[in-house]
Chain A
Amino acid sequence: MTIDAPQIATKREAGQFVVIMTDEKGERIPLTIVDSDKDAGTVTIIFQVVGKTTMCLAAMKEGEDLFAVLGPLGTPTEMEKFGTTVVVGGGVGIGVAYPIIKALQEAGNKVIAIIGARTKDILILEDEIREICDRLIVATDDGSYGVHGFVTNVLQDLIESGEVINRVFAIGPVPMMKFLCEVTRPYKIKTIVSLNPIMVDATGMCGACRVAVGGKTKFACVDGPEFDGHDVDFDLLTNRLRMYNGEEEEARKGCRCHE
C-alpha cells in the first residue's frame, strides 16, 4: 500500500515505521516503512491481514483517507560498511528486510539476501530484492519454489560453506528470528532482529512494547525496533504478543470496514 505522506517520505530512514489508524474508532498499529519516494511524497507499507485493523486496511480503496498516520518512528537501522552482510526475511518480514538491504547496499556492503515463505504464492518482493542485492537465495517451507526448507537451514549452510559473514539481519515471525539467532550464536556473528510487539502510542509514552534485551527492559518503539538478537528474550515477546488473542477474535467479528 502506498500512502501519501510527504514529510515522512523525506525524513524516514531504513528500519523506521509508521503508526496508522484506519478510522476514529480504530486501533493504532505500527507498520514498517518498506520504501519511500521523496519526489512523489509517498511511503510504502506492506502488511499481512491478521486482525481487524489489517482487514479494514485491505478493504480500503485508492484515494481513501487513513484517519491517522504518524511517523517516522523508531531508531533507524545502525548503518555502516560492515563487509559481508546477510539479510534474512521471512513471510511479511521480507517487507521489513527490503529497506535494510537497500541501505546496506548503499553503504557499500556485500549483501546476501535470504527470503522465505510458506509457499511460492505468498512470496513477496523477490524481483525487487534480486535487483538490489549481490546474491539472493529463496526458500519455501513446502518446496514449491527455490530451496525446500527453512531460511534457518539456508543460513546454516551458508555459514558452513565458509562464507565470512560480518553481520546478519533477521526479520520475520518470532520463532524464525529466535532460531536464526541460535544458528549464528555459536559463530558469534552479530545478528540484528526487528521486533514487532504490541504498541499503543509508539512514542515512548506507554510501555506496551517493552521487551527484555540482555536482561534489561527496553521499549521497542523508541529504543528499537531493532536489537541484538542474541540478547533478546523471545519467549517473553511471544507471550506478550498473545495478550489480546481473545479480544482480537471478538474484534474481527465486529468489523465495520464493509459497512
Chain B
Amino acid sequence: MSKIDKIPRQDMPEQDPKVRSANFDEVPLGYTKEQAMLEAKRCIQCKKPLCITGCPVDVDIPGFIRLIAEGDFIGAALKLKETNALPAICGRVCPQEDQCEAVCVLGKKGEPVAIGRLERFAADYERESGNIMIPAVALPTGKKVAVVGAGPAGLTIAGDLVKVGHDVTVFEALHKAGGVLIYGIPEFRLPKSIVDAEVNYLEKLGVKIVVNAAIGRIKTVDELFEEGFDAVFLGVGAGAPVFMNIPGENLSGIYSANEYLTRSNLMKAYRFPEYDTPIVRGKNVVVIGGGNVAMDSVRTALRLGADNAYIIYRRTEIEMPARAEEVHHAKEEGVQFRLLTNPIEYTGDENGWVTGMKCIRMELGEPDESGRRRPVPVKDSEFVIDVDTVVVAVGAMANPLVASTTPGLEINRWDYIVANEETGETSRKGVYAGGDIVTGSATVILAMGAGRNSARAIDEYLKK
C-alpha cells in the first residue's frame, strides 16, 4: 500500500454544536492550508477522472486539486473559475456526496476526496487574500442580453456571457442580488458576504445589475426586446410557496419557509431590532418537510431561541431529500425529528394564534411515481403537538409573474416554462430559460449548470 492511501480524509473543523445553535455564524470553519494540502494529496490524479463527469459545470477537479497539493492556492482558484463562476458558494452548498464525490475512485474502497471542502478552501483563500484577479473580457460584440433573476442560474449566465463580450443586464425583483443564495440559504450555511463578493466580482467583469425590477410588472419580456435586447434569459426560480391547504393554516404564527427564511436572511430579522423586519421567536417551533429548506428553517428556529424545534416529515429519514450533512448538523444542534408524521389540522387561541397541531402517524406503503414508498395514514393515530410557530417547508412552485405576461411562451401544467434541456431554448425566439423555473425545485448547482448551457446556446444564437 502506498503512503498516500494512508492519509485519512481530513475533517473540517466546525463550531461546537452547543455554541453554534445560539449564533448565526458559519458552522464549518474551513481547512487550514496544511489540511488542504494534505487532503489534496489524497487525490490520485486519475487519467480518466470520473469526478468531472459528476460535476454539472465540468470543473477540472484533478487540475485544481493538484494546484492545491503544490501550494498554488490562487492558481487553484483560477482553475476553478475557468468553469465555475461561484466556487466559494458551490464548495458550501453543492451536494458533492451525490455528484463529484459520489463517483470518486477512492470512495469505492474508502472515503472519497473531500472535493467540496477543497473547492471552498481555494475560493476562500483567493477572496480573503483580497487579490481577486479580474480576467480580461472579449471585445464587445454589440449584442445585449437581459437576464431575469439574479439567482444562481442568472449570475452564472451573466458571468459567462459578459466574458465573451456581450452586454449583460440582470434584472432582480428584490432589493439585493443573489436569489435563493441571499433570501433562502441562512448565514450559518452560506455567509452573505461571500455572495456579495461574487456579485461584486460579476459587476467588475462588466455585468449590470438592476435591483427592484420585477419583470412582468415594470417591463414585460417583449418590452425588453423593444428596448434593444437581443436575447432574454429567464432564471426566475420556483419562487412561490406551497401550502398544504389544511384547516387553520392561515392562523398567525404559521409561515411558509419562503417567508420565514426571507425575513431572517434577506431582511436580517434575526438581528431585529437593529434591522426593522421582525420575525416570531417561537418557543415550540415545528417545521414541516424533509428537504434542505426544512433543515435551514428548523436550524434558524433554534438560533432564534426555540426551546423545542421539530422536524415533522411524513416518511422516514432514508427518504428525506435533505443533504445528509444538513440532517446531521440539525441533529447535533438538538433538532427533534418526528418522522412518519403528517399534520392534518391546526388549532388557535382567541387571537387567532396557532397553539396546536393535530398530526397523524404514517406508515410506508407501496412505492409511488417518485420511486419512494408512499406514506399512508395509520388509522386512529391522531395526536396533538403544542406549537406557537410553524414553518411549512413542503416545496415551492412556479411564480407565474413572467410567464403570464409573455405571450407565446409555452408553460407546462405546473406553470413551469418549457425549455430545451441542453440549451434552455423556449417556444419564443431569443428567449431562454433555466433553473427552478424549468425543472421545479432543485439545487443551486443544477441551476448554475442550466445557466452555463444557456450561455453557450445564447452565444451561438447571437453569432448567427
Contact = CB atoms under 8 A, between A and B. Distances in A.
Interface of A: 7-8, 11, 21, 25-28, 52-53, 67-73, 200-201, 203-208, 210-212, 217, 222, 235-236, 239-240, 242-244, 247-248, 250-251, 253-254
A204 B401 contact: yes
A70 B215 CA distance: 11
Interface residues of B, number: 43
B276 A26 contact: yes
B239 A204 contact: yes
Contacts of B245: 217
Nearest to B214: A203
Contacts of B213: 70
Among B175, B219, B253, B401, residue most surrounded by chain A Cβ atoms (within 10 Å)? B175
Contacts of B249: 217
B278 to A, nearest CB: 4
B406 interface: no
A106 B174 CA distance: 34
B259 A200 contact: yes
A8 B213 CA distance: 10
A203 B148 CA distance: 14
A206 B401 contact: no
B205 interface: no
B173 A27 contact: no
B258 A207 contact: yes
5 contacts: A70-B212, A200-B259, A201-B183, A205-B183, A211-B250
Given A217-B250, A222-B401, A239-B352, A207 B277 contact: no
Contacts of A210: 243, 250
Nearest to A72: B217
Q: Is the contact region of chain B dominated by helix, strand, or loop, or is it mixed?
A: loop
Interface in B201-218: 211-214, 217-218
B399 interface: yes
B278 A217 contact: no
Given A72-B217, A201-B173, A242-B252, A206 B258 contact: yes
Contacts of B351: 239, 242
A136 B275 CA distance: 43
Contacts of B243: 207, 210, 217
B258 A247 contact: no
A204 B218 contact: no
Interface stretch (B98-106, B116-124, B266-274, B314-322): B266-274
Contact of A244 (B183, B240, B278): B278
B352 A203 contact: no
B280 A243 contact: yes
A69 B210 CA distance: 12
B262 A200 contact: yes
Contacts of B259: 200, 206-208
Nearest to A253: B273
Nearest to A233: B250
Given A204-B239, A205-B399, A236-B352, A73 B278 contact: no
A72 B401 contact: no
Nearest to A18: B212
Contacts of A69: 212
